[in-house]
């Protein structure tokens, strides 16, 4: 026998040795496009018969790593071992076709329910995933499957391949092993690419702007600070809210460059107000976890402050609890260094997500911003009232400032006054506004 293999189930260890390997397994034949004639024919015949079919595309998820580590011959042997293993588990009408290295396809026919589809995909995944011994090397092959349905998703074989691969890629490093194509997800992905390009262009064309939302002393109504909030202005003048691009900017790292612009812009604006003799004690900037990993953050902040004749204590950085998660050395170092230079540090949206009281004892912290979901419930729910009162007391005891976010009505403002909260921010007091409108507001406040 030219090749030696041993397949054992259960507790499966597959031994495979394809001696005298003559190079890679044949990939798809020339006709039938990338998908190959067999799979293509099956899909087209299902389509002609008016029947539904599923294209299952599966990959050895660690294939590239294995080939990089052990070489291409090992990759060929791994594929052959997998096919051998699957051959015993699949029906004759389910021929497996290799599409490209580490990637295979099967057409599922007559699958009429989710359960039937699940049964077939788990037959492949569970059957193929496991421990193998390939050419004397013990290794684990792990399969992941993407599924596209004909004709629901598409009735074109090549498009089905594209969609099944899209679903497969969506699995990423997750522990899930199977995913069906979703058109909504494709639409979202396309929008994400568009937004990525739009953000780049907007930065180049200076189409990001900052609005400012004042924060007020509850007792006197004096402005205690301004929170800078970024918006993207489209060519047609419409404004895109940060919720639509900040998460993406965080994911792809764009937030670092955008953040530099925000810091400079906010400092310039504060200097303009100061030059006009308008009193703004400080500006609060939102800083996302990714920005705290930026080795230039401190330097960029210092130069923006110096260039505008400000001091570091004119700035407050709002970080979310997510920044503190795991509290990497780099993040702690950056925050400590900012704090030592005078920047005030706030925890934004406190009470959502991963609230931990441990953060409150964290030394460099200056203040907490109580998430607006608390205020939304005060007055209707005695427990929330008690929580807010407790937070106010605790902040005072810890020597921390406290800003209540999301004050939307008079009742909430009165409540804050009653419990002794010092600073408030919200639509009932002032919406986020363009700098010119804020200038007007400051002028009126000075005249009052
Ligand atoms: P955030 O830092 O918690 O900002 C407060 C958000 O609540 C703002 O939304 C503001 O318009 C809104 N808001 C203020 N008062 C009220 C109120 O009374 N009721 C309600 N319902 N909402 C109120 P916006 O501007 O859409 O910002 C959303 C989030 O986007 C911010 O939440 C912040 O996490 C992020 N973000 C905004 N600007 C920046 C930025 O320059 N850099 C970074 N990294 N993130 C930013
Ligand atoms: Mg904020
Ligand atoms: Mg907030």
Please indicate, yes or no, whether residues 328 and 391 belong to a single structural domain of this protein. Answer: yes
Question: Where does the pLDDT of residue 361 fall: very low under 50, low under 70, confident under 90, or very high at 90 and above?
Answer: confident
Please, how many CA atoms are within 13 Å of residue 281, restricted to the half-sphere of its CB?
Answer: 11
- Cα(327) to centroid(ligand 2), Å: 20
Please indicate, yes or no, whether residues 177 and 195 belong to a single structural domain of this protein. Answer: no
Helix H or strand E encompassing 178: strand 178-180
- Which-ligand-closest: CA of 260? 1
Question: Where residue 135 sits, what CATH number does that domain have?
Answer: 3.30.70.270
> Residues 119-124: contacts with CB within 8 Å, 24+ apart?
120/54, 120/56, 121/56, 121/145, 121/147, 121/177, 121/178, 122/178, 123/89, 123/90, 124/56, 124/58, 124/86, 124/89, 124/90
Burial 72-96 (b: 16+ CB within 10 A, else e): eebbbbbbbbbebbbeeebeeebeb
Report, in this order, helix, strand and coil percent for the chain, each rounded to 5: 45, 25, 30
pTM of the model: 0.84
Question: Where residue 231 sits, what CATH number does that domain have?
Answer: 3.20.20.450
Q: Which of 210, 246, 352, 415 to mutate to test the pocket of ligand 1 (most atoms within 8 A of CB)?
A: 246
Determine the pLDDT at residue 166: 97
Among 181, 205, 226, where does a domain finish?
181
Q: Is residue 4 part of a domain?
A: no
Determine the pLDDT at residue 48: 92
**Three-state SS for 230?**
strand
Please indicate, yes or no, whether residues 134 and 217 belong to a single structural domain of this protein. Answer: no
Determine the pLDDT at residue 277: 95
Ligand 1 atom closest to Cα of residue 246: 45
Query: What string of DSSP letters covers 183-217?
Result: HHHHHHHHHHHHHHHHHHHHHHTT-EEEEEEEEEE
Determine the pLDDT at residue 322: 75
Has residue 276 got a pLDDT over 50?
yes
Percent of the chain with pLDDT over 70: 91
Query: If you average pLDDT over each of 21-35, 36-50, 263-277, which comes out highest?
Result: 263-277
- Cα(386) to centroid(ligand 3), Å: 21
**Three-state SS for 4?**
strand
Please indicate, yes or no, whether residues 169 and 225 belong to a single structural domain of this protein. Answer: no
Determine the pLDDT at residue 226: 98
Determine the pLDDT at residue 147: 97
Among 181, 202, 226, where does a domain finish?
181
Please indicate, yes or no, whether residues 310 and 403 belong to a single structural domain of this protein. Answer: yes
Asked whether 239 lines ligand 1 (CB < 6 A), one says no
Closest by CA to 13, choosing from 140, 170, 187, is 140
Question: Where does the pLDDT of residue 18 fall: very low under 50, low under 70, confident under 90, or very high at 90 and above?
Answer: low
- Cα(286) to centroid(ligand 1), Å: 9
Q: Say how many domains are in the chain.
A: 2
Determine the pLDDT at residue 10: 43
| Per-residue tokens: 72 | 């291409």
Ligand 1 atom closest to Cα of residue 249: 44
Q: Do the Cβ atoms of 111 and 54 come closer than 8 Å? A: yes
Has residue 391 got a pLDDT over 60?
yes
Q: Which of 216, 228, 229, 430 to mutate to test the pocket of ligand 1 (most atoms within 8 A of CB)?
A: 229
Give the lowest-confidence range in 112-116, 204-208, 265-269, 440-444.
112-116
- Cα(325) to centroid(ligand 2), Å: 18
Q: Is residue 1 part of a domain?
A: no
Ligand 1 atom closest to Cα of residue 407: 18
**355 or 383, greater pLDDT:** 383
Asked whether 433 lines ligand 1 (CB < 6 A), one says no
Determine the pLDDT at residue 94: 78
Q: Is residue 165 part of a domain?
A: yes
- Which-ligand-closest: CA of 243? 1
**118 or 90, greater pLDDT:** 118
277-293 average pLDDT score: 95
Q: Do the Cβ atoms of 106 and 97 come closer than 8 Å? A: yes
Please indicate, yes or no, whether residues 164 and 218 belong to a single structural domain of this protein. Answer: no
Please indicate, yes or no, whether residues 253 and 175 belong to a single structural domain of this protein. Answer: no
Determine the pLDDT at residue 4: 40
The string of pLDDT tens digits covering residues 128-151 is 999 999 999 999 999 999 999 999
Asked whether 351 lines ligand 1 (CB < 6 A), one says no
Ligand 1 atom closest to Cα of residue 288: 44
Determine the pLDDT at residue 1: 35
| Per-residue tokens: 227 | 């929170």
Asked whether 371 lines ligand 1 (CB < 6 A), one says no
Please indicate, yes or no, whether residues 170 and 266 belong to a single structural domain of this protein. Answer: no
Q: Is residue 321 part of a domain?
A: yes
Determine the pLDDT at residue 8: 40
Please indicate, yes or no, whether residues 370 and 413 belong to a single structural domain of this protein. Answer: yes
Q: Is residue 5 part of a domain?
A: no
| Nearest residue (CA) to ligand 1, atom 46 | 286
Query: What string of DSSP letters covers 107-166?
Result: EEES--SHHHHHHHHHHHHHHH-EEEEETTEEEEE-EEEEEEEETTT-S-HHHHHHHHHH
Please indicate, yes or no, whether residues 29 and 123 belong to a single structural domain of this protein. Answer: yes
Question: Where does the pLDDT of residue 181 fall: very low under 50, low under 70, confident under 90, or very high at 90 and above?
Answer: very high
Q: Is residue 3 part of a domain?
A: no
Determine the pLDDT at residue 133: 94
Determine the pLDDT at residue 5: 41
Has residue 9 got a pLDDT over 90?
no
Question: Where does the pLDDT of residue 20 fall: very low under 50, low under 70, confident under 90, or very high at 90 and above?
Answer: very low
- Which-ligand-closest: CA of 215? 1
Q: Do the Cβ atoms of 49 and 151 come closer than 8 Å? A: no
Among 181, 203, 232, where does a domain finish?
181
Give the lowest-confidence range in 234-238, 352-356, 392-396, 418-422.
352-356
Asked whether 230 lines ligand 1 (CB < 6 A), one says yes
The string of pLDDT tens digits covering residues 294-323 is 999 999 999 999 999 999 999 999 998 777
Give the lowest-confidence range in 70-79, 159-168, 169-178, 346-355.
346-355
Determine the pLDDT at residue 326: 62
- Which-ligand-closest: CA of 376? 1
Q: Is residue 47 part of a domain?
A: yes
Distance of alpha carbon 412 from alpha carbon 226, whole angstroms = 20
Determine the pLDDT at residue 87: 85
Count of other CB atoms within 10 angstroms of residue 261: 16
Please indicate, yes or no, whether residues 18 and 163 belong to a single structural domain of this protein. Answer: yes
Residues paired with residue 57 on neighbouring β-strands, in sequence order: 105, 146
Instruction: Check the CA dihedral 7-13-19-22 and report its sign.
Output: positive
Residue with structure tokens 């396309």? Answer: 190
Asked whether 406 lines ligand 1 (CB < 6 A), one says yes
| Nearest residue (CA) to ligand 1, atom 20 | 406
Percent of the chain with pLDDT over 90: 76
Who's near 287: CB < 8 A, 6+ residues apart? 259, 297, 317, 318, 319, 323
Q: Is residue 186 part of a domain?
A: no
Give the lowest-confidence range in 38-52, 234-248, 284-298, 343-357.
343-357
Question: Where does the pLDDT of residue 32 fall: very low under 50, low under 70, confident under 90, or very high at 90 and above?
Answer: low
Average pLDDT over the chain reads 90
| Nearest residue (CA) to ligand 1, atom 43 | 286
Determine the pLDDT at residue 2: 36
Give the lowest-confidence range in 10-24, 248-262, 429-443.
10-24
- Cα(278) to centroid(ligand 2), Å: 23
| Nearest residue (CA) to ligand 1, atom 4 | 229
- Which-ligand-closest: CA of 228? 1
- Cα(105) to centroid(ligand 3), Å: 48
Determine the pLDDT at residue 332: 86
- Cα(243) to centroid(ligand 2), Å: 12
Asked whether 147 lines ligand 1 (CB < 6 A), one says no
Ligand 1 atom closest to Cα of residue 428: 18
Show the domain range for 80. 13-181
Distance of alpha carbon 413 from alpha carbon 115, whole angstroms = 54
Please indicate, yes or no, whether residues 77 and 219 belong to a single structural domain of this protein. Answer: no
Going by the DSSP 8-state scheme, the letter that residue 34 receives in this structure is G
Q: Which of 284, 286, 316 to mutate to test the pocket of ligand 1 (most atoms within 8 A of CB)?
A: 286
Residue with structure tokens 């597959």? Answer: 14
């Amino acid at each position: 026998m030219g090749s030696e293999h041993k397949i054992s189930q259960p507790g499966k260890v597959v031994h495979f040795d394809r001696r005298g390997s003559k190079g890679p397994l044949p990939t798809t034949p020339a006709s039938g496009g990338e998908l190959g004639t067999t799979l293509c024919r099956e899909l087209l015949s299902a389509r002609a018969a008016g029947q539904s079919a599923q294209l299952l595309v599966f990959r050895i998820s660690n294939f590239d790593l294995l080939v990089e580590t052990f070489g291409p011959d090992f990759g060929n042997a791994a594929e052959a071992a997998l096919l051998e293993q699957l051959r015993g588990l699949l029906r004759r009408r389910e021929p497996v076709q290799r599409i490209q290295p580490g990637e295979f396809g099967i057409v599922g026919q007559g699958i009429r329910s989710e359960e039937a589809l699940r049964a077939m995909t788990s037959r492949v995944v569970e059957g193929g995933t496991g421990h193998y011994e390939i050419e004397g090397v013990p290794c684990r092959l792990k399969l992941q499957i993407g599924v596209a349905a004909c004709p629901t998703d598409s009735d074109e074989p090549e498009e089905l391949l594209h969609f099944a691969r899209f679903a497969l890629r969506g699995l990423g490093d997750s522990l899930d092993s199977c995913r069906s194509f979703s058109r909504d997800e494709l639409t979202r992905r396309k929008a994400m690419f568009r937004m990525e390009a739009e953000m780049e262009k907007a930065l180049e064309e200076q189409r990001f702007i900052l609005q400012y939302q004042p924060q007020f002393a509850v007792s006197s109504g004096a402005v205690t600070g301004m929170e800078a909030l970024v918006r993207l202005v489209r060519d047609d003048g419409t404004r895109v809210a940060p919720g639509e691009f900040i998460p993406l900017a965080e994911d792809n790292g764009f937030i670092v460059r955008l953040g530099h612009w925000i810091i400079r812009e906010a400092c310039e604006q504060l200097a303009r107000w100061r030059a006009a003799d308008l009193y703004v004690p400080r500006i609060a900037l939102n800083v996302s976890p990714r920005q705290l990993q930026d080795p230039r953050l401190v330097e960029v902040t210092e130069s923006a402050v110096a260039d505008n004749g400000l001091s570091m204590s004119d700035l407050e950085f709002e970080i979310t609890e997510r920044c503190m998660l795991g509290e990497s050395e780099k993040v702690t170092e950056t925050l400590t260094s900012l704090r030592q230079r005078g920047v005030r540090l706030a925890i934004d949206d406190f009470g959502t997500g991963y609230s931990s009281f441990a953060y409150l004892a964290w030394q460099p912290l200056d203040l907490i911003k109580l998430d607006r979901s608390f205020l939304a419930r005060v007055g209707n729910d005695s427990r929330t009232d008690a929580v807010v009162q407790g937070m106010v007391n605790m902040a005072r005891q810890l020597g921390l400032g406290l800003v209540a976010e999301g004050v939307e009505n008079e009742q909430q403002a009165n409540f804050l006054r009653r419990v002794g909260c010092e600073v408030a921010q919200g639509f009932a007091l002032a919406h986020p506004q363009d700098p010119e409108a804020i200038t007007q507001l400051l002028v009126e406040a000075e005249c009052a």
